[in-house]
Structure 1
Amino acid sequence: MSSLFSAVCDHEQVLLCSDRPSGLHAIIAIYSTALGPSLGGTRFHPYADEEVALADALALSRAMAYKAACAGLDLGGGKAVIIGDPAVAKSEPLLRAFGRHVASLGGRYITACDVGTYVADMDVIARETRWVTGRSPAHGGSGDSGVLTAYGVFEGMRAAARHRWGTPSLAGRRVAVSGVGKVGRRLVGHLLDSGASVVAGDVDPVALARLRVEFPAAETVPDPDDLLDLDIDVYAPCALGGALSAETVRRLRAGVVCGGANNQLAQPEVGRQLADAGVLYAPDFVVNAGGLIQVADEIEGYSPERARARAAQIFDTTSEVFRLAEAEEVTPTEAAERLAERRMTDVGRLRGILLP
């Protein structure tokens, strides 16, 4: 088997999308449709090369399948990546060409926002396909999915606090937030409202300046890497993936790690290293499911109250993951993956019962 097919063999389908006139180069990865159509955002990013982009799409789509399963949604996992700098390459023709490729899958993949794409982009893509969520309220959508992503992370953090310190209250805890974009900035607001103190970092000085205006009570550092050396209770990675490595574990002084970024573990073994170091890790695909819950609710006809109530259940799901991890003597990540795989198997098998 070629290296390409070896890389994608765990996935149901991988689609390469190209449109020379608009400059579109994209990959759509569908990990599983066992529970329903795959749903996952479109990431627009200047990847170093196609192999890095493919690896990201594959890892993210797998995480989306686990995320949907743990969240109790009847959805599978998919993800799309568009290769390029969105500040330079993004255009109406490119987005609409991408929309045509989404449409060609006939509903097997439903897209939404991710890093580098926004609600306005989803409205453009929707001019070519109906398989789009995360649309603007003017078009019946829920708007920016960062709203419930941040809320879900906050609920997951409360569950982690209860498991670690015996109370879900974050009052008096010091939380470091790495990345204050769509999710991190809103998470800071929840934390400050709960009585926690916050220190935040971001590579983008504009994002930090905006945070200081919106939340003057938050302390900031210009280099998010410096957060690892601070005396903190909780570390919240809210930027791109791979934030947690062996080096991170060595430097980290927090008792809990819980953030909004996808695929936080740079290597699978980092989950065990965190556990061995006495750090409680809340699996990212469990606690950051609020955004998926939000955009998935659009499929039924968006109800803010219903979506928020579903996102609040992330507290209970995270608590169940910690309970299962202790009962089965595995890491929280392994426990969450088992929880997802069991649901995908137990519920997914029902599709074998043929209907007229």
Structure 2
Amino acid sequence: MTVFQGHEQVVFCEDRASGLRAIIAIHSTVLGPALGGTRFYPYASEEEALADVLELSRGMTYKNALAGLDHGGGKAVILGDPSRDKSEALLRAYGCYVQSLGGRYVTACDVGTYSPDMDHVARESRFVTGRTEAAGGAGDSSILTAFGVFQGMRAAARRVWGEPTLRGRTVGIQGVGKVGRRLADLLAEDGARLVIWDVDDAATARVVAAHPMTTVAADTAGLLAADLDVYAPCALGQALTDEVAATLQARIVCGAANNQLAHPGIEKTLAERGVLYAPDYVVNAGGVIQVADELEGFSMERARARAARIYDTTGRIFELAERDAVSPAVAADRLAERRMSEVGRLRSIWR
């Protein structure tokens, strides 16, 4: 069942000539214009797409708040197979709809879209970020997404083992695409052992070529059955089901995927089993930090410094969770809501 969660605006977009079918969801503009990527995915139905964009846009509100950005949360989904349906005309038609919102929503890349796609969208809209470096943009946001997840994982390691390093630990990465591959690089450099799985054999081959000691699991079940210290879901959402939460042997869950919890309450099961869950929208905020910086005139040095703060934010959330006897997910929500309340009210002051 589709659930609206205080969303300000939901826009259905269609352009039959180009084949565009899209949904833009603005969850909140309390902290500023809604910022979030555009996902291009072959949803089974419009209902499924709507449920996804509503959940993703809400997550962006909390992600942007905890990342310290002056942006609210929004998201867009384009229904279709990007390998077959994506075209310049479709992307530019989508850009017209983004422009029609007058800056209430700023878009960027997500699953199925890339910086060159945003260049096409930007030909019809001023409210686009995550563009190519040639167009003056920040380029691939997976760079700082992976960096931020790594910082969150270091904070979790410090909480569990007393040291902010993954050296000597075994990390299982589900999904080694744009973000997972870069996370594997950072972990290998830190001295971690890698176990990976991806539906795309070419993706796993690239990681193995770069890090020959990597173990490739036969499937997701094989990955979860491995003797892991850390489980990093880096594919699509809802990786943490009741079954996974009840059987997972890793001490830490920290990954790049959005909406990792299949339903509310799973984080409690993890906590009861002694598994530390790093809320996904906290640790995977590096990408949105990167594209938000582009709106100021991009500086990788500045954006990376901001993304490095994910380590401190994640650590603070763990401390608040212990102090208040709640899960890290609840502690993160409370911290985000506090910022939205304290900072968001300033928009009502007459200037």
Q: Does 1:257 align with 2:253?
A: yes
The answer to whether the 8 Å contact 1:244/1:265 transfers is yes
Counterpart of 1:230 in structure 2 is 226
CA distance in 1, matches of 2:59, 2:68: 14
**Corresponding position of 2:56:** 60
Per-residue CA distance 1:219-268 (angstroms, 9 max, x = gap): 21231331111111000000000000110012211000000000000001
Query: What is the aligned residue count?
Result: 351
Pick aligned residue for 1:330 from 326, 332, 345:
326
1: distance between equivalents of 2:216 and 2:155?
A: 26
| Aligned twin of 2:264 | 268
Contact 1:239–1:261 at 8 Å: present in 2 too? Answer: yes
Whole-angstrom distance in 2 between the partners of 1:27 and 1:216: 42
Partner of 1:38: 34
Distance 2:79 2:221 in 1: 26
1:11 to 7, 11, 14: 7
Q: Secondary structure at the match of 1:183?
A: helix
User: What is the distance in 2 between the residues matched to 1:9 and 1:253?
Assistant: 33
Give CA-to-partner distance per residue, 1:45-71, whole Å, 9 cap, x none.
000101110010000001111000001
% same residue: 63
1:1-150 mapped onto 2 (5 Å cutoff): 7-8=3-4, 10-150=6-146
- Aligned position for 1:209: 205
- Deviation digits for residues 151-188 of structure 1, max 9, x if unmatched? 00000000000001111111100000000001000000
Amino acid at match of 2:306: R
- 1:299: how far off? 0.6
How far did 1:96 drift? Answer: 0.3
1:240 equivalent to 2:236? Answer yes
Q: Is the 8 A contact 1:202 1:222 kept in 2?
A: no
Q: Hey, what does 2:177 align to over in structure 1?
A: 181
Cα deviations by residue, 1:15-41 (Å, 9 ceiling, x for unpaired): 001101111110000110000101100
Give the conservation status (yes or no) of the 8 Å contact 1:200–1:224: no
Q: How big is the shift at 1:218? A: 1.8
Greater Cα shift, 209-218 or 249-258: 209-218
Q: Which amino acid aligns with 1:345?
A: S
Whole-angstrom CA distance in 2 between matches of 1:81 and 1:327: 38
Q: Say which of 187, 192, 199 aligns to 2:188.
A: 192
CA shift for structure 1 position 306: 0.2
* TM-score under structure 1 length normalisation: 0.97
TM-score of the aligned structures, taking structure 2 as reference length: 0.98
Contact residue 31 and residue 72 of structure 2 kept, 8 A: yes
Once the 2 structures are TM-superposed, how far is the Cα of residue 9 of structure 1 from its aligned partner? 5.3
The residue identity in structure 1 corresponding to 2:13 is: C
Equivalent of residue 164 in structure 1, options 160, 164, 171: 160
Q: Select 2:277's aligned residue among 281, 302, 319.
A: 281
Amino acid across the alignment from 1:144 = D
1:85-124 per-residue CA deviation (whole Å, 9 max, x = no partner) reads 1111101110000000000001110000000001110011
Q: Which amino acid aligns with 1:227?
A: L
Task: Determine which of 300, 305, 310 is the counterpart of 2:306.
Answer: 310
1:180-218 deviations in Å (ceiling 9; x for gaps): 001000000000000111111001112112222232232
1:9/1:164 CA distance change after superposition, 3 Å: closer
Supply the distance in 2 between the matched residues of 1:215 and 1:68 (Cα, whole angstroms): 33
Distance in 2 separating the partners of 1:11 and 1:337: 17
Give the gaps of 5 or more residues in structure 2.
Answer: none
Q: Which runs of 5+ in 1 are unaligned?
A: none
* Aligned equivalents of 1:175, 1:318: Cα separation in 2: 19
How far apart are the structure 1 equivalents of 2:80 and 2:11? 17
User: How much is the aligned-residue C-alpha RMSD, in angstroms?
Assistant: 1.0
Task: Rate the CA distance shift 1:116–1:221 in 2: closer, same or farther, 3 A.
Answer: same
The Cα of 1:352 is off from its aligned counterpart by 1.0
Secondary structure of 2:92's partner? helix
